[in-house]
Amino acid sequence: MAYIGNTSPSRFVSNRAASVYSGDGSTTAFTLEQAVVQDEDIFVSVDGVIQEPSVAYAVSNGTTLTFTAAPSSNSGNNIFVYYLASQVGTVGHPATQSLTATNGTLTGTLDVTGATTLTGALAGTTATLTTADNNAQLTLVSTDADANRAPTLALTRNSGSPADNDLAGVIKFNAKNDAGEDIELFEINTTLIDASDGTEDARMIFNGITNGASANKLSLNNSEIVINDDSTATDFRIESDSMSHQMHMNGSNGKFTINSNSEQSPASHFTVFFESNSYSAFAAQMTDTGNGSGFLICRKGDGTTIGQVKRNGTSDEVQYVTTSDYRLKENVNYDFDATSVTKQLKPCKFNWISDDTNTPIHGFLAHEVQAIVPHAASGEKDAMEKDEDGKDTTRIDPQGIDHSLLVPLLVKTIQELEARIKALESA
């Protein structure tokens, strides 16, 4: 028979080999001093007569000896019980000896206490726990009452020669498809990117099956967090308590939507919904609460507002505001010649190259305005966009004009001309 432990000894040793009882002619049940498993595990005699197991007596609950007929009271101590085998309880194992099993089966509850280490190769290098139950099959329980983290499941790669990109641990979730094939649904793996002492870096990757192939869903490393690193057509969506598409990135076209109750197909690559979910062709829609707050506010690093697009109070007027508060200005001078500056400006008529209709437009050329009123123009003449190395590309870096900065000159010019007219009229 298979066994666990050392070689079986030649005989059993018990602390007490026999129990003695006295019959009284009426008592049929007696309590054994050692627990046994079955009737045949004890040898019983009454008044010197050997009793037949399961006929003259029976053992129940391991320790209750019950006679079919009550033993007589002819003399004291007339019932003798000899223990042939006792019920297995706690088995102490010698500290320095091996515990082995040969084709054996362990059933019941196995309690492992103290510091326990399992070493050596498992059969076939794998161990499998199989169950038909839908409840938790493996549970780690900590009864520690302090604030330390527990219970802890540690996956450790104990390499004698650690190197960069060592795989440190993998957790896989597998199932079978309708063809009976084993497939990997999801995988979590960790990698030691940099094994150098003091500069260690690691990466954790979440892979999931998509259209029959594994794809990187999420990557966490030392320098960045990447979603959909394998560039599959996977949407990214964040849901709030009231919006199913609070933030949504379409994985097929790269278009981005905020604050909607459904997937949208915006005309541009950035669309914002706030108080309405209805869609129209716009790049961004922003709605205020009717109190004149800004739709779009530009601030410096210190928090000072320098401009905004806003609603004018509660009216239906949109203001494009450049900050002009007197508290932010100094050296204010009202005495300057605006007419001479205005006369240098060169209004012209033109059409945009991109306009197939060649519709004539009146305006200015930015570099010409820049030469006369520098603060009204931005950029540099003939500038090109730069690449990552600072070299010119083939894309134009266009100049611009803030026409609102020309208005003070025009107003001052009108005032100067009016004064000259009045002077001429007086003469």
181 versus 250: the higher-pLDDT residue is 181
Give pTM, 2 decimals. Answer: 0.47
Helix (H) or strand (E) segment spanning residue 421: helix 407-426
The fold adopted by the segment(s) 1-101 is Immunoglobulin-like (2.60.40)
Share of the chain above pLDDT 90, in %: 44
- Kindly tell me if the per-residue pLDDT of 187 is higher than 80: yes
Share of the chain above pLDDT 70, in %: 79
Enumerate residues 6+ apart whose C-beta is below 8 A from 133. Answer: none
Confidence (pLDDT) at 276 = 45
| pLDDT tens-digit readout, 76-88 | 788 899 988 755 5
**Domain ranges in the chain?**
1-101, 164-234, 294-328, 338-422
**Secondary structure of residue 79 in the 3-state scheme:** strand
| pLDDT tens-digit readout, 131-159 | 777 777 778 888 888 888 888 888 888 88
Mean pLDDT computed over 166-191:
93
Mean pLDDT computed over 286-290:
56
Mean pLDDT computed over 308-329:
83
Q: 190-223: string of b/e by CB count within 10 Å (b at 16+)? A: bbbeebeeeeeeebebbbbbeeeeeebbebeeee
**Of residues 252, 278, 275, 274, the one with CA closest to residue 264:** 278
Tokens of 18: 């026999």
Confidence (pLDDT) at 222 = 84
Q: Distance (Å, rounded) from C-alpha 404 to C-alpha 382? A: 24
What is the average pLDDT score of the chain? 82
Mean pLDDT computed over 20-25:
90
| pLDDT tens-digit readout, 198-218 | 999 999 999 999 889 999 999
Q: Distance (Å, rounded) from C-alpha 264 to C-alpha 245? A: 9
Mean pLDDT computed over 284-293:
57
| pLDDT tens-digit readout, 24-38 | 989 999 999 888 888
27 versus 127: the higher-pLDDT residue is 27
Confidence (pLDDT) at 417 = 95
